[in-house]
Amino acid sequence: MAASPVVRASNLGYRLKNGREVLIRVDFHLPAASFLAIVGENGAGKTSFLDLLLGFRRRTNGELWVMDRDPGMDPWATRARIAYLSEKIDLPGDWDAGDFLEFHRPFYAGYDRDEERTLMGRFRVPYDARIGTMSAGEIRRVQIVGALATWPQLIVADEITATLDILGRRTFLSLLQERQRTNGATVLLATNLPEGLDVYADHVLLISRGRQLAFELLPSFLDGRASLADAVAARLEDHDRPLH
């Protein structure tokens, strides 16, 4: 019997109080142990979709299931298996990296201190580094360590790679792929920078102006193009081209 999809969206919609449609008819089922790249232009609705996934916003239409739970019903036990990484997360500046991890650990029963130490070494973050003196990319690294040391089954990353340097980005993406392949973790990565994701992603969700333009396996999405970035650009340009 096939495992149920980790994420199921059916006619999913989200509209603001002023009537603006942010997401319209998003529809897909994501199998377990997938690596989904969520791409689209600025303001397409990628972050809004992830906010719905985690229950930060309430959908106004359709259905959304994450690990067989409705995120709008506060499935807090499920969140123990989800790692959330975002550029929006910031931490008190007078803490150091060790303080954050000390605060973070008790919330997760499966937290692995050995894995934390391994990741700190891999991302080269000292425990006594003060958050107030860190760059945005360094803060992301601390966040990544805290999130992945819990061995999550679902990793939701919202535009987190933009602030990482080239080595940090490669380390992070390789780590996600390792977790996917060896632990069966499912990865959802929303990004404005699809360059280089071809090596990691196996599914692509393209959103433009709130609408789902495509949800496909990577080879099908590429459709003969040289790279994911080229394929995304071509699809977006086609979508923008007026009908004659």
Partner 1 sequence: MTGHFIRRDLRDFLFWWVAMAAATVLVVACAIWFADPPVIVFLWPAYLMFALTAAPHLLGSWWRTQHQWSRHYLLALPLSHRRLFAIQHVRILIFWLPLTLLCAVAPAVPAPWWNRFGTMHWLLYYFGLSASINLMIEMQIWTTLDMERIVTYLPRNQRAWAWIRSMGVMLAVISGLWAAWTDVVFSALGVQQRGLFIAGPLFSWPGASIVIFPAAFLAAALWARHNARSWCVTL
Q: Which residues bind partner 1 (CB under 8 A)?
A: 54-58, 71-74, 76-80, 82, 84, 86-94, 103, 106-108, 131-132
Q: Smaller CB distance to partner 1: residue 72 or 184? A: 72
Q: Smaller CB distance to partner 1: residue 91 or 119? A: 91
Q: Smaller CB distance to partner 1: residue 45 or 71? A: 71
Query: Cβ 236 to partner 1, closest distance in Å?
Result: 26
Please report, for residues 6, 100, 131, 143, 234, the alpha-carbon distance to residue 239 in angstroms, rounded to integers and kept in the order given. 29, 44, 42, 36, 9
Query: Cβ 234 to partner 1, closest distance in Å?
Result: 32
Phi, psi of 125 (to 5 degrees): -115, 120
Q: Smaller CB distance to partner 1: residue 71 or 215? A: 71
* CA-angle at 216, arms to 214 and 220, nearest 5°: 110
Query: Cβ 79 to partner 1, closest distance in Å?
Result: 4
CA dist 67 and 32 (Å) reads: 9
Q: Smaller CB distance to partner 1: residue 93 or 126? A: 93
Query: Cβ 221 to partner 1, closest distance in Å?
Result: 29
Query: Cβ 140 to partner 1, closest distance in Å?
Result: 12
CA dist 181 and 176 (Å) reads: 9
Query: Cβ 64 to partner 1, closest distance in Å?
Result: 13
Q: Smaller CB distance to partner 1: residue 78 or 227? A: 78
> Integer distance in angstroms from the first to the last C-alpha of the chain?
48
Per DSSP bridges, beta strands 61-66 and 7-15 are antiparallel
